[in-house]
Amino acid sequence: MKIATIFKALSMAGVLALSPLAAAQAETINVGANIGNVPWEFENAEGKIVGFEIDLMSEVGKRLGMDVKFTNIPFAGLFAAVQSGQIDAAVSSITITKKRLESVTFAQPYYDSDQSLTVKADSGIENLAGMEGKIVGVDTGSTGDIWVTEHQGETKIATVNKYEGLQPAMLDLQAGRIAGYISDIPALLYYVKDKPQFKVVERIKTTEQYSVMFAKDAPLAGKVNEAITAMKQDGTLATIHENWFGAKPDDGLATSTVLDMPKL
């Protein structure tokens, strides 16, 4: 065999040997997210998609040797999208619940949260009792939506308006079309910190934990869970928390503690 032919054969063998690796490196995780959910995933002044969960999943992708693509999907649509295979995973401060675990799989939790009531600062409303007979806004299908539905009788809230994210709800709150907005407390504390016209007046204790959501028993869930474990152990997740909330997470919270994947 001629030397040129040998080199050609070796070159072709090298290409074939590298092809599976190249394919693996090019594999992409398509992550669904409700863009506009500050500070988890939103568009900054430069038009770039940023946020706590953007940083989280970007780091997960690096550790798995995979690219990460973010697809903007309204919160209520994330569940069907992940179950149908339209996306590989979903984030958007998604709370783990027993009901949801019947049809989807979650990685271990990475954030502890509660609900909250936000009003206009000059409204005179000081707590949930002040919402009697008034209109409240919630995000469609969210745990805030579920909480209000379950407690509407005792709170005596007159009407519930449903929104696809924080921004349209806050526009209606500003315009007086709703008297209050019930949603995740970290998002609202972050949102109102430079907007004195709004005020978070009550923390509603719901003891929620956020995680990444997958189709039921998806193999990717275990891989992502391992990456999150490593990020907790080496302090990367604590650094992401500090970047977005101004302080490292307290000991014992989900952001700093390795936990099991949730099960029914």
- Round to whole Å and give the CA distance between 52 and 244: 6
Cis previous bond, 39, omega within 30: yes
Query: What three-state secondary structure class fits 135?
Result: strand
DSSP string, 81-114: HHHHTSSSEEESSPBP-HHHHTTEEE----EEEE
- Round to whole Å and give the CA distance between 133 and 144: 18
Residue 85: Cβ-neighbour burial (10 angstroms; 0-12, 13-18, 19+) = exposed
C-alpha distances (whole Å) from 10 to each of 17, 18, 22, 88 are 10, 12, 18, 37
Which domains, ranges and CATH numbers included, belong to the chain? Answer: 3-110+211-245 (3.40.190.10), 113-208 (3.40.190.10)
Query: What three-state secondary structure class fits 42?
Result: strand
- Write out the chain's pLDDT in tens, 264 residues: 444 443 344 343 343 333 343 333 449 999 999 999 999 999 999 999 999 999 999 999 999 999 999 999 999 999 999 999 999 999 999 999 999 999 999 999 999 999 999 999 999 999 999 999 999 999 999 999 999 999 999 999 999 999 998 999 999 999 999 999 999 999 999 999 899 999 999 999 999 999 999 999 999 999 999 999 999 999 999 999 999 998 899 999 999 999 999 999
- The residue whose two tokens read 């379950």 is 150
